[in-house]
């Protein structure tokens, strides 16, 4: 249950409204003078059965306890949530307690990183940056990319950065802690990055937290990263994510590559939904950063490593580490557990041998999207790699295939999906399904056994069995704002009011729609999403994660679906109003002065419902005709 639902369950709307308006019982409902407009006969009704209110007078609007408080006290959603949570005695999840002392220290480290970036950028532009600029040109990086990613150069000197920062008043101890300088045995210090092309690593907010450095002369290692610091832990950071957030949300999926250069090249070519894991195995924390944006992950694996023994060994390692809190990935079981648990869709893309995304995008950018689209589900991928070296015609090979793939299949939680792969395995080893199932049940590990001390997994967000209509409409419009015009035109054509906040029943959806509509054109919608209060962000995440893939569907198809969906949405809203009106009529007292007003509203609502029904039936028959024509 979300905090909103819990609050609504605990509070009675009649009590809350009564604090602001004097209500009188009228049948099973309550009525009073509308607190939002001035009137002499009461047309403001509160419906205890549905816990809603409606003004049948000048306002012509209604809602639940949240919308009442927001409207009445002029609060935004977050404020209303706090107010009502307090009233209902519902504990909201605490916003992160800030330790000011520690924050100040981290702030200092951020500042040092920012100063270091400026220094490296300056050197790149100076005469000393000549080789680095040539390197950037050779890699095909343009000025815009260099600026956007704040690329720089660390001169091949022992104390260039350290000297510069200390001169500017920074403490040696802080520079050490930031990992930018290294202490020498003799007590002196020297720069960590020397003679390297510098790639700043930023957190999701865009603050620099570390560096990657590519050596330009001969030497090892080719890439050097900042060490682990209070700001930087490479298992928790995805390179490029600060710039990729918007594109990931817009596209509905993320592509995870291995190197900095891959990301730079992808973004430069306009593929903005690409991030890199910086040469470490992907961790669950990495994916945690993404899960707010999407549940569709495409991994680009280095083809030279993807099928090698290391990956296959991962299968065994995975078994040993299964009960650890952090599931190391990529291992088949790690991935699949993660996929099942988070309801994620993980696919693997493999590039032609000897090519990485950097080369591919630079040489043949038109091939990138087809490659991404050809990515295969992670289980299919492990079928491929784990049977590559086996002779399927021999008994030994078959037995080994079952031994390797069995544990993977047992991780698949979805029964239908598991059956699919059991059948696939049966075909692969030319056995019947029953044999494979028996074999698997022998090798199946105990499930649901949690070792003492292992933290319990947080409860999963219950996923609605069908993606609700309201959320569907929001998901499409948020992804494709250009469709709003179509929706407005549709209603205009039917002489109906535009799509509005009132069309949504759930307060989170109402509010999301309202604040989204208020956002000015051209406004950075990522910034908008980030600034939403937690409860709304959670709803936004849910909507975007489960929404339809507007990219994958044909435009006509999406338009047809959204038009139908908003019609259904409006119909639902009108049904709510007319249901309330019916209750009113049934319980109305003789000589109720507002009766004429109710009747007028009922006439309007009935007419609007008829218009909607007509439009819907036209669409259905149109759809049938199109279908028939296609068949013919």
Give me the least distance between CB of 58 and Zn ion, in Å please. Answer: 5
The count of chain residues that interact with Zn ion, using the rule CB under 5 A, is: 6
Give me the least distance between CB of 631 and Zn ion, in Å please. Answer: 53
Give me the least distance between CB of 265 and Zn ion, in Å please. Answer: 58
**21/408 with CB nearer Zn ion:** 21
Q: Does 34 bind Zn ion (CB under 5 A)?
A: yes
If you search the block for the tokens 């906040």, which residue do you land on?
Answer: 501
Q: State the DSSP string of 311-357.
A: HHHHHHHHHHHTTSSS--SSSHHHHHHHHHHHT-EEEEEEPPTT--H
Cα–Cα distance list, 313 to 212, 300, 338, 545, 559 (Å) = 29, 19, 19, 33, 48
Which range touches Zn ion (CB under 5 A), out of 56-64, 199-207, 262-270, 589-597?
A: 56-64
Q: What is d(CA 32, CA 594) in angstroms, rounded to the nearest whole number?
A: 11
The DSSP bridge partners found for residue 200 are 211
The DSSP bridge partners found for residue 214 are 197, 223
Give me the least distance between CB of 563 and Zn ion, in Å please. Answer: 31
**65/208 with CB nearer Zn ion:** 65
Give me the least distance between CB of 72 and Zn ion, in Å please. Answer: 11
**37/102 with CB nearer Zn ion:** 37
Give me the least distance between CB of 68 and Zn ion, in Å please. Answer: 12
Of these, 32, 42, 57, 162, which contacts Zn ion (CB under 5 A)?
57
Which range touches Zn ion (CB under 5 A), out of 36-44, 71-79, 322-330, 429-437?
A: 36-44
Binding mask 137-176 for Zn ion (x = CB under 5 A): ----------------------------------------
Give me the least distance between CB of 54 and Zn ion, in Å please. Answer: 9
Give the DSSP letter of residue 519.
Answer: S
Give me the least distance between CB of 587 and Zn ion, in Å please. Answer: 20
Of these, 24, 37, 324, 463, which contacts Zn ion (CB under 5 A)?
37
Give me the least distance between CB of 623 and Zn ion, in Å please. Answer: 40
In sequence order, the 6+-apart residues with CB closer than 8 A to the CB of 251 are 273, 551
Angle, in degrees to the nearest 10, between helices 534-546 and 469-479: 90
Give me the least distance between CB of 60 and Zn ion, in Å please. Answer: 8
Confirm if 544 and 249 have CB atoms less than 8 A apart.
yes
Q: What is d(CA 288, CA 285) in angstroms, rounded to the nearest whole number?
A: 5
**34/478 with CB nearer Zn ion:** 34
**34/615 with CB nearer Zn ion:** 34
Q: What is d(CA 580, CA 363) in angstroms, rounded to the nearest whole number?
A: 64
Closest CA to 80 of 510, 499, 475: 510
Structure token pair of residue 300:
């680009």
**69/378 with CB nearer Zn ion:** 69
Closest CA to 171 of 101, 108, 103, 107: 108
Give me the least distance between CB of 498 and Zn ion, in Å please. Answer: 20
Which range touches Zn ion (CB under 5 A), out of 52-60, 164-172, 273-281, 508-516?
A: 52-60
Q: Does 582 bind Zn ion (CB under 5 A)?
A: no
Of these, 6, 14, 20, 36, which contacts Zn ion (CB under 5 A)?
36
Which range touches Zn ion (CB under 5 A), out of 9-17, 29-37, 182-190, 199-207?
A: 29-37
Which range touches Zn ion (CB under 5 A), out of 58-66, 73-81, 300-308, 482-490?
A: 58-66
**62/212 with CB nearer Zn ion:** 62
Give me the least distance between CB of 479 and Zn ion, in Å please. Answer: 35
Binding mask 412-441 for Zn ion (x = CB under 5 A): ------------------------------
Closest CA to 235 of 311, 319, 328: 328
Sign of CA dihedral 175, 177, 180, 181: positive
3-state secondary structure (DSSP) of residue 45: strand
Q: What is d(CA 83, CA 71) in angstroms, rounded to the nearest whole number?
A: 13
3-state secondary structure (DSSP) of residue 96: coil
Structure token pair of residue 74:
């002029």
Confirm if 270 and 248 have CB atoms less than 8 A apart.
no
Cα–Cα distance list, 567 to 104, 137, 495, 543 (Å) = 53, 54, 13, 19
Q: What is d(CA 551, CA 68) in angstroms, rounded to the nearest whole number?
A: 37
**Triad 222, 226, 228: Cα angle to 5°:** 130
Of these, 59, 182, 216, 553, which contacts Zn ion (CB under 5 A)?
59
Of these, 13, 23, 33, 55, which contacts Zn ion (CB under 5 A)?
55
Which range touches Zn ion (CB under 5 A), out of 49-57, 334-342, 510-518, 528-536?
A: 49-57
Query: Backbone phi, then psi, for 466, in 5-degree steps?
Result: -120, 145
Which range touches Zn ion (CB under 5 A), out of 26-34, 393-401, 469-477, 551-559?
A: 26-34
511: left (phi over 0), alpha (psi -120 to 50) or beta: alpha
**59/118 with CB nearer Zn ion:** 59
Which range touches Zn ion (CB under 5 A), out of 31-39, 203-211, 242-250, 409-417?
A: 31-39
Give me the least distance between CB of 56 and Zn ion, in Å please. Answer: 8
Q: Does 181 bind Zn ion (CB under 5 A)?
A: no
Which range touches Zn ion (CB under 5 A), out of 55-63, 418-426, 526-534, 584-592?
A: 55-63
**Triad 57, 63, 66: Cα angle to 5°:** 130
**52/311 with CB nearer Zn ion:** 52
Structure token pair of residue 73:
């006290």
If you search the block for the tokens 């689209």, which residue do you land on?
Answer: 373
Which range touches Zn ion (CB under 5 A), out of 47-55, 65-73, 279-287, 616-624?
A: 47-55
Residues lying near Zn ion in the complex (CB under 5 A) are found at 34, 36-37, 55, 57, 59
């Amino acid at each position: 249950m979300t905090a909103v639902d819990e609050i609504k369950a605990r509070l009675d709307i009649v009590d809350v409204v009564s604090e602001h308006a004097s209500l009188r019982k009228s049948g099973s409902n309550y009525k009073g003078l509308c607190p939002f407009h001035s009137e002499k006969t009461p047309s403001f009704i509160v419906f205890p059965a549905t816990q809603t209110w409606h003004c049948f007078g000048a306002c012509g609007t209604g809602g639940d306890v949240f919308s009442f408080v927001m409207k009445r006290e002029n609060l935004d959603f977050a404020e209303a949530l706090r107010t009502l949570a307090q009233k209902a005695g519902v504990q909201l999840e605490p916003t992160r307690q800030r330790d000011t002392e520690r924050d100040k220290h981290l702030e200092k480290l951020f500042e040092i990183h920012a100063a270091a970036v400026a220094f490296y950028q300056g050197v790149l532009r100076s005469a000393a940056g000549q080789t680095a600029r040539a390197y950037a040109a050779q890699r095909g990086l343009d000025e815009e990319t260099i600026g956007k990613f704040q690329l720089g150069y660390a001169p091949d000197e022992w104390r260039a950065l350290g000297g510069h920062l200390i001169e500017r008043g920074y403490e040696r101890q802080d520079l050490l802690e930031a990992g930018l300088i290294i202490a020498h045995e003799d007590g002196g210090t020297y720069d960590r990055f020397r003679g390297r092309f510098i790639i700043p690593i930023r957190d999701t907010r865009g603050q620099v937290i570390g560096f990657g450095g590519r050596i330009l002369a001969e030497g090892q290692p080719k890439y050097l990263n900042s060490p682990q610091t209070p700001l930087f832990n490479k298992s928790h950071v995805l390179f490029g994510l600060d710039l990729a957030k918007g594109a990931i949300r817009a596209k509905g999926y993320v592509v995870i590559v291995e190197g900095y250069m891959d990301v730079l090249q992808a973004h430069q070519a306009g593929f903005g939904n690409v991030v890199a894991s910086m040469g470490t195995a992907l961790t669950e924390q990495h994916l945690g950063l993404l899960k707010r944006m999407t549940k569709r992950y495409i991994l680009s694996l280095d083809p030279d490593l993807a099928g090698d023994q290391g990956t296959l060994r991962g299968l065994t390692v995975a078994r040993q580490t299964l009960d650890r809190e952090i599931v190391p990935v990529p291992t088949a079981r790690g991935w699949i557990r993660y996929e099942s648990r988070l309801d994620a869709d993980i696919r693997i893309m493999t590039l032609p041998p000897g090519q990485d995304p950097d080369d591919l995008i630079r040489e043949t950018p038109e091939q990138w999207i087809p490659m991404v689209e050809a990515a295969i589900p992670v289980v299919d991928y492990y079928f491929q790699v784990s049977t590559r070296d086996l002779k399927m015609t021999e008994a030994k090979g078959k037995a080994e295939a079952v031994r390797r793939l069995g544990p993977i299949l047992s991780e698949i939680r979805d029964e239908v999906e598991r059956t699919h792969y059991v059948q696939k395995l049966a075909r692969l080893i030319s056995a019947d399904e029953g044999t494979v199932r028996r074999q698997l049940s022998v090798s199946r590990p105990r499930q649901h056994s949690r070792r003492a001390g292992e933290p319990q997994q947080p409860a999963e967000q219950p996923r609605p069995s069908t993606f609700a209509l309201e959320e569907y409409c929001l998901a499409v419009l948020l992804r494709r704002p250009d469709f709003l015009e179509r929706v407005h035109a549709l209603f205009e054509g039917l002489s109906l009011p535009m799509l509005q906040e009132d069309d949504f029943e759930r307060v989170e959806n109402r509010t999301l729609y309202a604040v989204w509509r208020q956002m000015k054109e051209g406004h950075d919608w990522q910034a908008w999403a980030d600034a939403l209060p937690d409860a709304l962000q959670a709803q936004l995440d849910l909507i975007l994660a489960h929404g339809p893939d507007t990219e994958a569907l044909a435009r006509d198809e999406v338009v047809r679906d959204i038009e139908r969906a908003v019609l259904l949405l409006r119909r639902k809203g009108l049904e709510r109003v007319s249901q309330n009106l019916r209750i009113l009529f049934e319980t109305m007292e003789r000589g109720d002065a507002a009766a004429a007003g109710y009747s007028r509203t009922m006439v309007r609502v009935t007419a609007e419902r008829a218009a909607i029904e007509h439009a819907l039936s036209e669409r259905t028959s149109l759809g049938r005709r199109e279908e028939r024509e296609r068949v013919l």
